Amino acid sequence: MPEGDTVWLTARRLHGGLAGRTLVRSDLRVPRLATVDLRGRAVVEVVPRGKHLLTRVEGGLTLHSHLRMDGAWRVFAPGERWRGGPAHQIRAILGTEENTAVGYRLPVLELLRTARESTVVGHLGPDLLGPDWDPDEALARLRAAPERPLGDALLDQRNLAGIGNVYMAELCFLARLTPWTPVGEPPVAEALPRLVDEAARLLALNRERFDRITTPPGERRARLHVYGRARQPCLVCGTPIRVVADAHGEPGRERPTYWCPRCQRGPTLPDPPRAAPRKTAPR
């Protein structure tokens, strides 16, 4: 699942494959960009901003993309077989004489003036992996809505940019608080500075790798504490990890939320109701 660290590494690979080179192939497969041709322009740089990717090209243009849940960019050498999904999932192709970048399943792809990048990323809070990272500003933004659930506040990119569902679940576990505990509650208020520092540490630790790890070196029975480990024993207490679909304030975009019911204090959401067994007619 793409989060801030994945986007940072993706940007670095795109930058390494394209920056400073002239585009000889340009194919943007979304209706509003179907006639755009970037050939003949050099790629200036590729930079991440939270979960957003900004590919800047000559002439003051920026190709803005977002990976959301399962988007991906891949960079291929000449003659290398493209891997990343079937051809119908390709949304963008940017090629130079040396490399070709292919964007798969990109839910956001738009071209704008570089001077207007703030219209798509200006709302973001401090970037956990960016030059603008400011833990004090992130704390102030998180504390601004004390009634808000912790998990919801962490996922809001306007507070701090780069945290997705995986890190949200892992950070709440490390704080020993459920994601539904209000930010203004004393346990959260006490843990929040450490939690913000831990978020920055974990993303920095994982930005060079796609196989994300949040567990300490001596506890590698699993790479993550709770995320994706439903019904498996907690690494600390052995209690089965629970999961529930939670919208996090986004109706229609429910995400699985994982937590340990013993290690994490605070309110919880109930498990979704099980379907009643079908009744069969008597024979």
Catalytic residue status for 117: no
Show Cβ contacts of residue 75 under 8 Å, excluding neighbours closer than 6 positions: 13, 14, 16, 17, 18, 99, 100, 101, 102
> Which of the residues in the chain have pLDDT under 50?
249, 281-283
Determine what percent of the chain is predicted with pLDDT higher than 90: 85
Active-site hit among 51, 207, 212, 229: 51
Q: What is the pLDDT of residue 72?
A: 96
What is the residue type of 177? L
- On whether the CB atoms of residues 94 and 100 are closer than 8 A, the answer is yes
255 is catalytic: yes
Is 2 catalytic? The answer is yes
H-helix or E-strand containing 138?
helix 135-143
Which amino acid is residue 6, in one-letter code?
Answer: T
Per annotation, catalytic residue among 56, 74, 148, 255: 255
Q: pTM for this structure?
A: 0.89
Which residue ranges form the domains of the chain, and what is each CATH number?
Answer: 4-122 (3.20.190.10), 135-259 (1.10.8.50)
pLDDT of residue 245: 86
Q: Compute CA distances 79 → 2, 159, 269, whole Å.
A: 27, 43, 51
